[in-house]
Amino acid sequence: MTNADLEKIVDTSDEWIVTRTGIRQRRIAQDDMSSADMAVEAARRALEMSGRTHEEIDLIITGTVTPDYRLPSNACIVQERMGFPNAVAFDVVAACAGFINGLSIAQSYIASGVHKRALVIGTEKLSSITNYEDRNTCVLFGDAAGAAVIEPSENGHGLLSTYMKSDGSMRDWLWMPTGGSRTPYSADFAFDGTDKIQMAGSDVFKVAVKKMADAVQNVLRDAGLTVDDVSLVVPHQANIRIIEALAKRLRVGMDKVYQNIEKYGNTSAASVPLALDEANREGLLKPGDNIVLVAFGGGLIWGAAVLKW
Ligand code: ACO
């Protein structure tokens, strides 16, 4: 879906969207493709890249705010569809920070010896919760999925540290008021947009920059590194101006910050694995590089991870 397509739906312009967000197009899944369908495809490719078997995966974590059903989890659907006989599967609800939250849980389980090998997925069909009558939000979001296989490392490469934090006091800056147990759908529900994403955009913007910078500083400190040791920052792709402000706050040049927002928009939990995969395919990640992943989303919740490639 291009900006020109959106110009036909709401009162907006390509110029406004590109200048304010950096987005030129976003992918929208077909009606018959769900977030679990995308998760299965991403998981299949990640497993293939890892060379591991289905039997070797004993943990499946899916970050999503757009599961196929409220019950069961998307992770259980992935398990059933692909067949992981030895795994426990569950979802985490951490919005755009869902993939990094999954990495952090997988790292703790693997380091403690509880699990051996995890499949971590970020998948979102945000088009299913986007109000295409609200120009404040509909220009931002797209659909995608990404996945990674996490296992113990013997050579000092891989995840060095992870960091997560949240603050529920700003929960209604980015939320969906209707459809949960507090305000279930009723027969006379008016479809007034309260079952779709509502966002206080400029408030979220300011907090996002500050909290993502804090997360990067904390995760680097935990790994015994400084920003000068970092080869590439792979941030959640929410808005190019947020990414630029983050780079400025961290005092890193934009040449060290990966961005692909113009092609996909904000894909929430899928954004970081999607960006990391593209950075890898573009040959930007070299063995021994320190890569920082960082994200921020509704909750509000934010987090970062450092990995040695
Ligand atoms: N086209 C044209 N005009 C628009 C559009 C649009 N698509 N959207 C808003 N406007 C208008 C507004 O109505 C407003 O007009 P007004 O001044 O007459 O009221 C004007 O543009 C400026 O609005 P602002 O909200 O001040 O615009 P801002 O520069 O803050 O940009 C944006 C808005 C892009 C939403 C920005 O605030 C942002 O990116 N916020 C963060 C979003 C985010 O990161 N979300 C987090 C993750 S999402 C998740 O967790 C699922």
Where does 159-308 sit in CATH, by number? 3.40.47.10
In the CATH hierarchy, which fold is given to the domain comprising 3-154? Peroxisomal Thiolase; Chain A, domain 1 (3.40.47)
CB 243 within 8 A of CB 295: no
Cα-based distances in Å from 188 to 38, 177, 184, 275: 33, 16, 11, 42
DSSP state at residue 166: E
Report pTM: 0.96
Q: Are strands 59-63 and 118-125 parallel, antiparallel or unpaired?
A: parallel
- b/e sequence 246-257, b meaning 16+ C-beta within 10 Å: bbeebebeeeeb
User: What is the predicted pLDDT for the residue at 48?
Assistant: 98
Ranges of CATH 3.40.47.10 domains, the chain: 3-154, 159-308
Q: Could you give the 3-state DSSP secondary structure of residue 149?
A: strand
- Residue 184's region, left for phi above 0, alpha for psi from -120 to 50, else beta, is beta
- Residue 158's region, left for phi above 0, alpha for psi from -120 to 50, else beta, is left
Run of H or E residues at 234? strand 230-235
Give the sheet arrangement for strand 118-125, strand by strand.
88-92, 59-63, 118-125, 143-150
Distance in angstroms (rounded) separating the CA atoms of residues 305 and 70: 28
* Closest residue by CA, ligand 1 atom 36: 201
Q: Are strands 59-63 and 88-92 parallel, antiparallel or unpaired?
A: parallel
- Lookup: tokens for 152: 């113990």
The neighbouring-strand residues paired with 304 are 163, 294
Ligand 1 mutation pick, 10, 12, 20, max ligand atoms within 8 A of CB: 20
Ligand 1 mutation pick, 23, 101, 126, 205, max ligand atoms within 8 A of CB: 205
Helix ranges, the chain (H): 3-7, 14-21, 35-50, 74-82, 98-112, 135-138, 201-222, 240-250, 261-264, 271-281
User: What is the predicted pLDDT for the residue at 44?
Assistant: 98
Give the sheet arrangement for strand 158-166, strand by strand.
158-166, 301-308, 290-297, 230-235
**Which residues lie with the beta carbon below 6 Å from any ligand 1 atom?**
12, 16-17, 20-21, 95-96, 135-136, 139, 174, 199, 201-202, 204-205, 208, 238-239, 242, 266, 268, 297-298
Q: Map tokens 């890892």 to a residue.
A: 50
* Closest residue by CA, ligand 1 atom 1: 12
Query: What pLDDT tens digit does each residue of the chain (309 aa) get?
Result: 999 999 999 999 999 999 999 999 999 999 999 999 999 999 999 999 999 999 999 999 999 999 999 999 999 999 999 999 999 999 999 999 999 999 999 999 999 999 999 999 999 999 999 999 999 999 999 999 999 999 999 888 999 999 999 999 999 999 999 999 999 988 888 888 999 999 999 999 999 999 999 999 999 999 999 999 999 999 999 999 999 999 999 999 999 999 999 999 999 999 999 999 999 999 999 999 999 999 999 999 999 999 999
